[in-house]
Amino acid sequence: SDQLKVDIVTYDYTGYGLSSGDAPGEHHLYSDSTAVYNWMIKDLGLSPDRIIFYGKSLGTAPTIDLGTRMPSMGVILVCPLASGARVVFPKMKNFITDGVFCNSISKIGKVKAPVFIMHGTRDEVIDVCNGHDLYEECKANHPLPPVWVDGAGHNDIESRYHSIFLKGLRMFLDHCAEMRLLQPAG
């Protein structure tokens, strides 16, 4: 956050990390992200046009979902999954099986804020074709090019490719700030 000069709010989903409560479930991903968003707006007094949603891996599903329902300055997706089915069967493009778990591919086109995708080309957990599929679904509305990090895997994109990672994020943050300046005062 220091290098990018941003503040960060992070949380665990129900059933993950240090959270308490029920077992993990897709519905918790969405309700937890909504609760954090509402907390930032109501309790912290943040304006939606000052919030950028960020998700990595499984966290991209609630990030995309939130982006379809709540206003924001932008949406960052790192190593995103197009759907649970496409994680297991990366080359299968079947909208019926996409609907089984975390169907982000059907939602991303509804995100109104700018979208930025970054994915490693050697991701061993979520094949990079998931990032490509998501970009193809949203590029008409979000022309900022994605960053495909050559050689990066799933868990080393921020560390081993730190410079590329930060440059990509800086490019997107600058783009969002410029888009914000172009919005009519209201």
Q: Tell me which residues are annotated as active site.
A: 57, 123, 154
Query: Measured between alpha carbons, how far is 119 from 80 in angstroms, rounded to an integer?
Result: 7
Query: Measured between alpha carbons, how far is 186 from 84 in angstroms, rounded to an integer?
Result: 39
Residue 152 has a CB neighbour count (10 Å cut-off) of 24
CB 172 within 8 A of CB 145: no
The three state secondary structure string of 73-109 is: CEEEEECCCCCHHHHHCCCCCCHHHHCCCCCHHHCHH
Query: Measured between alpha carbons, how far is 86 from 127 in angstroms, rounded to an integer?
Result: 8
